[in-house]
Amino acid sequence: MASSPSLVSLLQRCLLSKSQLVGKSIHGYFVKSGLVFSIYLANNLINFYSKLGFSSDACRLFDEMPLKNIFSWNSILSMYAKGGCMDVAGRLFEEMPERDSVSWTTMVVGFKQMGWFESAVRVFVDMIWKGVPPTEFTFSNVLAACAAMEGLSVGRKVHSFVVKLGMSSCVPVANSLLSMYGKSGDLEMARIVFGRLKLRSLSSWNAMISLYAQSGRLDLALALFEQMTERNNVSWNAMIAGYNQNGLDLEALKFFSRMLNESSMAPDNFTLTSVLSACANLGKLRVGEQVHAHIVRSEMVCKGELGNALISMYSKSGGVETAQRIAEHSMASDLNVISFTALLEGYVKLGDLQPARKIFESMRNPDVVAWTAMVVGYVQNGFHNDAMELFRLMVNRGPKPNNYTLAAVLSVCSSSAMLDHGKQIHSKAIKSGEGLSISVSNALITMYAKSGNLTAAKRVFDQIRSGRETVSWTAMIIALAQHGFGDEAIRLFEEMLMSGIQPDHITYVGVISACTHTGLVEEGKNYYAMMQNKHKIEPTSSHYACVIDLFARSGLLKEAEEFIKTLPMEPDAIAWGSLLAACKVHKNADMAKFAAERLLAIDPENSGAYSALANVYSACGRWNDAAKIWKLMKDKGVKKEKGFSWLQIKNQVHVFGAEDVLHPQRDAIYAMAAKMWKEIKKVGFVPDTQSVLHDIDDELKEQILSHHSEKLAIAFGLISTPENSTLRIMKNLRVCNDCHSAIKFIAKVVGREIIVRDATRFHHFRDGLCSCKDYW
């Protein structure tokens, strides 16, 4: 008869080779030979069955054992805990006649693996309370639980037990302490633990380097890396991934190059995944292709994270067709939503939305990131209706929109001035809990402001008082400036500075624009100087355009010209356009000609430049010169941009052009327009026939003026909305002098507020006055 040790040895070999039939034959031999009553043999059989997954056989054998020792109980307990059956394991744990360190540690490990970190910590506390000494394996697992739940205070108490039991120098425990302190944000304590280690393993060095790198302290990570006498792939990967994850992608590629030159180790999947991510962020297609070639030459399996990184790299670096081919050759199960989304974004960036939508439709369960990427793609490429339709589909059958989705859709409402839609989205944001999200709040401020509802924009801004960031303050400052409340915008900017919030270059565009719209020339010049001297912000073309506009609108055309001469670069089209518009107001034909020539040199197809110059000549009575410009424009095939006005009534946008006859309610609209014209003339309105820059008689000029697009839009609004309600009109060009004057009278006669957004700003007409104070 074979001895028990030899049978156990044979059983262990079966376990290693996973020979279940041979193992069961040995069990049968135990029974026939009467050896089944041996606790030693029975325990090894339970261990064999449990580790090969035959839990029912292990349980039956355990139940049939007439005598059980602590090893028997621990074996069956471990089987349930490792299998995730913590409720059964808990009952079994309570039934145990005695428990040792292995029993308690098994429960700690089981709860930790299930993600029940607080339960793992509670078991550890009970273990200490019962006086059972923890092992290094116990400490490693309870510290991992503390790290996962970022329980720094509990982790510190566990550390005190480590010190008390003299296990501080135990490398696995020390590494677990490093990880716990690092993930809980106490990098200084992690450094102290590492510094006190008398014997540092390679894993200790790697753990500390990873913590520094993940915390953004690449300088400290590099200093440790340089001290290492031995390195492995984990060491190099920690540095490369650290640079990549902290936005230092160029340094990541340099470190990868150093690895290839200095190390004999071949880069693994983790290395190349980080390198490809850096290439994607930098748009370095050529380097990414070289990495791909290395993957092919090395016959590495290009799937999982590596395959996804490769698809992302090509998608983000302009090689979207290659990314598509890689995706098609990969198993769909290997591709994650990140790679699909990257592929989607690649086509979106190219403006090729058809294949992007096909990819989106092919995704089995697109997550909120994929939905948002598709919505943003439509928004960025001007397909606002498609963006709104997809958003509605997302609300009905997709995942809950997040703050990025809501912000993107709100930008559609901003650009189209769809206030009613914006209000509905605001309601959805509140219901979903995203209403107070900073990104959504910032988008709401912009949406309400651009839709003419400054009161609602202020209300949203006030609601995020504690969480305001630079973007929030900037959005509100720009809103006030655009609505003609320049003094209030400046006060808010000063409040922002007093609050310790640093302005950025866009904030200064807003505050200088506020000075421009209110004629505060000296204040604007002071802010321009403050931007450079105090906040060290280098001016951009946008700031130059603002200052030129600041001088030009105030009639300081000579100062604007002198400022242009001091610039280190040629002003952009916006700057020359501002100067040209001011020349029209102040009837300076010579400077208008100069500004138009410079504008057309930048943008030869700019119809506004021809129109503005012709209008300046007309305003100065130089009809022949104006005619020459119109002829030149015609000869060059440049078409004049037409003026349109629009408003939204019951979720429908109604668009009007001058002398518009296409609207189905045109008879009622023209009747209301005629009535308005008659009534405002009765109370003192005098048509500004000089606004009609054609050499025709005054009666015909009056007819043309009365049918301007904004007047028709107002007439339609008056017959389509309740009395005393606010009218919000949008116009693609600057409102003319006659319309501006007429709308002041209309607002007074009908007793309504009329808000007009033109190409440069908002005008709030109320009681015969405008918020711009006739300065626009």
Summarize pLDDT for 637-675 with one digit per residue, the tens: 777 778 899 988 877 889 998 888 888 999 999 999 999
Please check whether residues 649 and 761 belong to one and the same domain. Answer: yes
Last residue of a domain, one of 641, 669, 697: 641
Q: Tens of pLDDT along 343-400?
A: 777 777 777 788 878 878 877 778 888 888 888 888 878 888 888 888 888 888 888 8
Question: Based on the domain organization, do 1 and 118 belong to the same domain?
Answer: no
Q: Say which DSSP state 537 is in.
A: P
CATH number for the domain harbouring residue 621: 1.25.40.10
pLDDT of residue 696: 61
Query: Residue 337's pLDDT is what?
Result: 65
Residues 557 and 613 in one domain: yes
Domain boundary among 609, 641, 673: 641
Structure tokens that stand for 496 in this block: 């922002």
- Using CA of residue 24, residue 30, residue 32, residue 33, what is the dihedral sign? positive
Count of structural domains within the chain: 4
Tens digits of per-residue pLDDT, 463-515? 887 678 888 999 999 999 988 888 899 999 999 999 889 999 999 999 999 99
Please indicate whether residue 57 or residue 764 has the higher confidence score (pLDDT). Answer: 764
pLDDT of residue 72: 79
pLDDT of residue 331: 52
What is the Cα–Cα distance from 639 to 637, expressed in whole angstroms? 6
Residue 276: what pLDDT? 93
Window from 284-293, 450-459, 558-567, 580-589 with minimum mean pLDDT = 580-589
Within a domain: 376: no
pLDDT over threshold 50, residue 21? yes
Residue 747 located in a structural domain: yes
Q: Report the pLDDT value the prediction gives residue 278, as an integer from 0 to 100.
A: 93
Calculate the average pLDDT of the chain: 83
Q: Express each pLDDT in 120-138 by its tens digit.
A: 888 888 888 888 888 888 8
Comparing CA positions, the residue from 293, 371, 308 lying closest to residue 342 is 308
702 belongs to a structural domain: yes
The answer as to whether 528 is a domain residue is no
| pLDDT given for residue 40 in this prediction | 65
Does the structure show a pLDDT above 50 at 773?
A: yes
Domain boundary residue, one of 96, 127, 151: 96
- Do residues 761 and 669 share a domain? yes
pLDDT for 115 beyond 50: yes
Q: Is residue 441 part of a domain?
A: no
Residues 575 and 615 occupy one common structural domain: yes
Window from 129-143, 144-158, 325-339 with minimum mean pLDDT: 325-339
Which of 244-248, 438-442, 456-460, 767-771 has the weakest average pLDDT? 438-442
- 308 within a domain of the structure (yes/no): no
Q: Is the pLDDT assigned to residue 9 strictly greater than 70?
A: no
For position 130, which CATH number holds?
1.25.40
Both 50 and 107 in one domain: the answer is: no
Tell whether the model's pLDDT for residue 3 goes beyond 50. no
Top-confidence residue, 706 or 149: 706
Q: How far apart are CA 534 and CA 528, in angstroms?
A: 10
Answer yes or no: pTM beyond 0.85: no
Same-domain check for residues 710 and 595: no
Say yes or no: 574 and 660 in one domain: no
Q: What is the mean pLDDT of residues 562-588?
A: 82
Window from 75-79, 542-546, 591-595 with minimum mean pLDDT: 75-79
Q: Is the pLDDT of residue 446 over 50?
A: yes
> Do 665 and 739 share a structural domain?
yes
The rounded radius of gyration (Å) of the Cα atoms in the chain is 37
* Coil vs helix vs strand at 550: helix
3-class secondary structure, 755? strand
Domain holding 120, by residue range, is 99-200
Of the given ranges (78-92, 237-251, 325-339, 695-709), which has the lowest mean pLDDT? 325-339
Q: Work out the average pLDDT over 674-683.
A: 93
Edge-to-edge strand ranges of the sheet holding 769-770: 652-657, 644-649, 727-731, 754-757, 762-766, 769-770
Residue 336 resides in a domain? no
Higher pLDDT, 528 or 736: 528
For 299, counting Cβ atoms within 10 Å of its Cβ (0-12 exposed, 13-18 middle, 19+ buried), the class is: exposed
Residues 92 and 112 in one domain: no
Instruction: Tell whether 713 is covered by a domain.
Output: yes
Answer yes or no: do 663 and 688 share one domain: yes
pLDDT for the residue numbered 333 = 47
Compare 408 and 673 and report the one with higher pLDDT.
Answer: 673
Task: Answer whether 314's CB lies under 8 Å from 283's CB.
Answer: no
State the Cα–Cα distance between residues 460 and 462, nearest whole angstrom. 5
Higher pLDDT: 167 or 677? It is 677
What pLDDT does 5 receive?
Answer: 58
The conformation of residue 776, written as its DSSP 8-state character, comes to -
What pLDDT score does 479 carry? 92
Q: Which helix (H) or strand (E) holds 648?
A: strand 644-649
Q: Are residues 46 and 92 in the same domain?
A: yes
